[in-house]
Homo-oligomer: A and B are copies of this chain.
């Protein structure tokens, strides 16, 4: 772990070395992280535990995005936002269903919680879709219109996210309770130790991730991958390492509520909190204001991801094939982006 950070400082050009080192560093960190998350969830319930894990996990995305924002690289920022939403809502959710389904015949989870998260995601998708749908022909008015609209939408989304937290953690928290889980053999850590570990490890993962993202981007382009594929798929998968470790571990222990909470909670947090905050911050620290408008292909992918998550979590039951279906949608996106000729992106 310290080796990676040192190497990252000393030899920023040795991408392949950095790549291997950072993978080696992330694995034990992720294991620590998942154990800490479960210890906290044992105290707070799966919904709040999932939210905590998602929040800490999204710090990685926020750190990466802030760096790019200050440099004015808005295309990169937007690609990483859209990629993170799609990866969380499809890959993380689908892999959780699949892994859990291979071990358990049928799993039940709290559909109220999944529906609220999917509803928030749906709202964010509408906010991304409408400015493109009513778009104007005249370029100059269009820019002014989109900027003002993005600012307003950003505020709306943050308010909606706050109200969603109020609803799920305060006024209707009893709806979000998971089924009781028998002790899974390991004694949970004390809450203080668990919280401290959670925070500490997340920071370390964020630091390593940043090195990883940079090195993997260079390495991937050397392997002939398209920028769209790297931004949408590779960076998002790496940036989501912390969530994945916790979600998959919870899944194998049949705590599907925790996994679904992490997957959809992380996606909706990026869409309704991280992205709007970046729009607002771009008015302060960016060279020009950033808007919320994505290229059409990205909007379609976010829309389909949201719809898939909504339709799939509708029943509150899961088996391995549900995971396969969700992962297949993700594979279709990955394959399309991998083959896309560079000039379109």
Question: Residues of A at under 8 Å CB distance from B?
Answer: 105-106, 115-116, 119-120, 122-123, 126-127, 129-131, 133-138, 141-142, 144-145, 148-149, 152-153, 156, 159-160, 163-164, 167, 171-172, 175, 296-297, 300-301, 304, 308, 310-312, 314-315, 319-322, 324-325, 328-329, 331-333, 335-336, 339-341, 343-344
Q: How far is the CA of A141 from the CA of B136 in the complex (A)?
A: 26
Q: How far is the CA of A66 from the CA of B300 in the complex (A)?
A: 33
Q: Is A324's CB under 8 angstroms from B136's CB?
A: no
Q: Is A336's CB under 8 angstroms from B167's CB?
A: no
Q: How far is the CA of A144 from the CA of B341 in the complex (A)?
A: 9
Contact status of A335 and B172, CB under 8 A, knowing A126-B304, A136-B343, A343-B138 = no
Give how many copies assemble into the complex: 3
Q: Is B171's CB under 8 angstroms from A332's CB?
A: no
Q: Is A160's CB under 8 angstroms from B343's CB?
A: no
A345 CB to nearest chain B CB (Å): 9
Instruction: List the B side residues contacting A160 at CB < 8 Å.
Output: 324-325, 328
Closest chain B residue to A160, Cβ basis: B328
Closest chain B residue to A105, Cβ basis: B172
Instruction: List the B side residues contacting A175 at CB < 8 Å.
Output: 106, 319
Instruction: List the B side residues contacting A341 at CB < 8 Å.
Output: 136, 138, 141-142, 144-145
CB < 8 Å: which of B105, B126, B134, B310 contacts A297?
A: B134
Q: Is B325's CB under 8 angstroms from A123's CB?
A: yes
CB < 8 Å: which of B142, B144, B172, B340 contacts A134?
A: B340
A93 CB to nearest chain B CB (Å): 14
Q: Is A336's CB under 8 angstroms from B130's CB?
A: yes
Q: Is A321's CB under 8 angstroms from B156's CB?
A: no
Q: Knowing that A156-B331, A163-B324 are A-B contacts, what are 15 other residue pairs whose CB atoms are under 8 Å apart, sorted by A's residue number?
A: A105-B172, A119-B312, A119-B325, A130-B300, A134-B344, A136-B341, A138-B341, A145-B339, A145-B340, A148-B339, A156-B328, A156-B332, A159-B328, A172-B321, A310-B311
Q: Is A149's CB under 8 angstroms from B336's CB?
A: yes
Q: How far is the CA of A55 from the CA of B127 in the complex (A)?
A: 32
Instruction: List the B side residues contacting A138 at CB < 8 Å.
Output: 341, 343
Instruction: List the B side residues contacting A152 at CB < 8 Å.
Output: 335, 339
User: Which of A149, A311, A332 gathers most chain B CB within 10 Å?
Assistant: A332
A37 CB to nearest chain B CB (Å): 25
A22 CB to nearest chain B CB (Å): 30
A82 CB to nearest chain B CB (Å): 13
Q: Is A133's CB under 8 angstroms from B167's CB?
A: no
Q: Is B332's CB under 8 angstroms from A127's CB?
A: yes
Q: Is B126's CB under 8 angstroms from A329's CB?
A: yes
Q: Is B145's CB under 8 angstroms from A329's CB?
A: no
Q: Is B297's CB under 8 angstroms from A332's CB?
A: no
A142 CB to nearest chain B CB (Å): 8
